[in-house]
Amino acid sequence: MAVSKFTPVYKETHSLSSQFSSLTETSVFNSRICFSHPLPRPHNAARVFCSVSQNELQAPVAAQQNDTPKIKHECFGVFCVTYDLVAEEETKSWKKLINVAVSGAAGMISNHLLFKLASGEVFGPDQPIALKLLGSERSFEALEGVAMELEDSLYPLLREVSIGIDPYDVFKGVEWALLIGAKPRGPGMERAALLDVNGQIFAEQGKALNAVASRNVKVLVVGNPCNTNALICMKNAPNIPPKNFHALTRLDENRAKCQLALKAGVFYDKVSNVTIWGNHSTTQVPDFLNAKIGGVPAKEVIQDNHWLENEFTQKVQTRGGALIKKWGRSSAASTAVSIVDAIRSLVTPTPKGDWFSTGVYTTGNPYGIAEDIVFSMPCRSEGDGDYELVEDVIFDDYLRARIKKSEDELLAEKKCVAHLTGEGNAYCDLPGDTMLPGEM
């Protein structure tokens, strides 16, 4: 068997060697993987390299007739793989390719998430996808390994994988940006310091999205503190609708559903209308007042108000810490699952009467929550990537008091990052250290 090395090159013909793929001489496809190299490069050299230019893909030798090379201008299959298909044989049920960027792509959360994206589990079994993976110089070789694993998995919907360390390269034309990468909180680090360090990352990524992404890109911020990071990213991307920015609170919602199901002695699919209000911190408010179990208000099924107000709320808020204590690591797999759930809630219609939680921009909200912050609230979607806030919710004094506490925290965080949102000098006076254990 003849083995060919994958050799990406500069346009100036400077070459870099990599062994991403091996193909037999009679193989019916050519692979294409692009990446941005972190090493010093010639002035004005192209940032992205490809083994095969998309405009120069040739049909395999076995498929050529009369020894005349056949130029292919479209890609079908794994990593822009080119099959020798005639027009009437092309799969007509597949949709237009979507471009999805993932930051922190060499991390543990992404290690679970990327394969779900590539398999069709997220956007559907007929949706081709291109993955744009953002990492750092330190993680670049790990990104190459991620690309190799994706290649070896032979996902038919995965048409292209590109890797890089410059968000202005990686975010070009993306329709979805999943911003997972963030610095963890080190020993002795104050939350204000973490807000500043990670805020700078998300300010830069917001500027890059504003410059090169699709004008209707949907942005899901996972890196913590995710609510305020989402606000920073949004403020640095004025050409993208504020409504398109989300902070991930779906894992908190999933945890709340789990606890209610366990207490009621039912399977989790009987639990609906669960809202996480507020910040992704220990001030978050898992809402049992509006929750339903088997279509019945949760408070009528679980007639234990002390458990609901104390144990239930505390278990949801501290679940991540409990998991770390047991396993010695943060919840990467369940976080990846919750990212899948969050996206699917936007690309599939919300079941009638139900809703889902996501951290979104509060301006214009119907609940009286302070404007100009990112706050987790109940939403519904028609499945078009957009959402509407739910208006048919009820409040009592307990719920409003808890919501106010989370609102105050987010307003304080906003002051801490004013220098990153273009709103003046930062002033940090946080009401307390409410960071979730997983952020450390």
**pLDDT tens across 76-113, in order?**
333 444 334 444 445 565 689 999 999 999 999 999 99
Separation of alpha carbons 268 and 294, rounded Å: 10
pLDDT of 16 over the 60 cut = no
Q: Comparing 83-92, 209-218, 397-406, which segment has the lowest mean pLDDT?
A: 83-92
The maximal CA–CA distance of the chain, rounded, in angstroms, is 81
Distance of alpha carbon 55 from alpha carbon 5, whole angstroms = 20
Q: Interhelix angle for 397-416 vs 226-235, to 10°?
A: 50
pLDDT per residue as tens digits for the range 119-144: 999 999 999 999 999 999 999 999 99
Rg for the chain, CA atoms, rounded: 24
- Please provide the DSSP assignment of 92-134 as one string: TT----EEEEEESTTSHHHHHHHHHHHHTTTT-TT--EEEEEE
The predicted pLDDT at position 20 comes to 34
On the question of a cis peptide bond just before residue 225, with omega within 30 degrees of 0, the verdict is yes
> Which domains are assigned to the chain?
95-247 (3.40.50.720), 249-420 (3.90.110.10)
pLDDT band at 166 (very low <50, low <70, confident <90, very high): very high
- The pLDDT, as a whole number, for residue 330 is 80
pTM: 0.81
Q: 398 is written with which tokens?
A: 């307990």
Q: Quickly state the pLDDT bin for 202 (edges 50, 70, 90).
A: very high
Higher pLDDT, residue 412 or 43: 412
Q: pLDDT digit string (tens) for 332-388?
A: 999 999 999 999 999 999 999 999 999 999 999 999 999 999 999 999 999 999 999
When pLDDT is cut at 50, 70 and 90, the band that residue 331 belongs to is: confident
Does the structure show a pLDDT above 80 at 21? no
Single out the residue of 439, 431, 388, 379 nearest to residue 410, CA to CA.
431
What is the model's pLDDT at position 92? 61
Give CA–CA dist 388/290, Å, rounded.
17
Q: Which residues are catalytic?
A: 280
pLDDT at 51 > cutoff 80 = no
Does position 153 have pLDDT exceeding 80, yes or no? yes
Cα torsion angle, 314, 373, 342, 432, sign: negative
C-alpha–C-alpha distance, residues 31 and 74, integer Å: 13
Q: Which pLDDT value is given to residue 14?
A: 30
Per-residue pLDDT, 326:
87
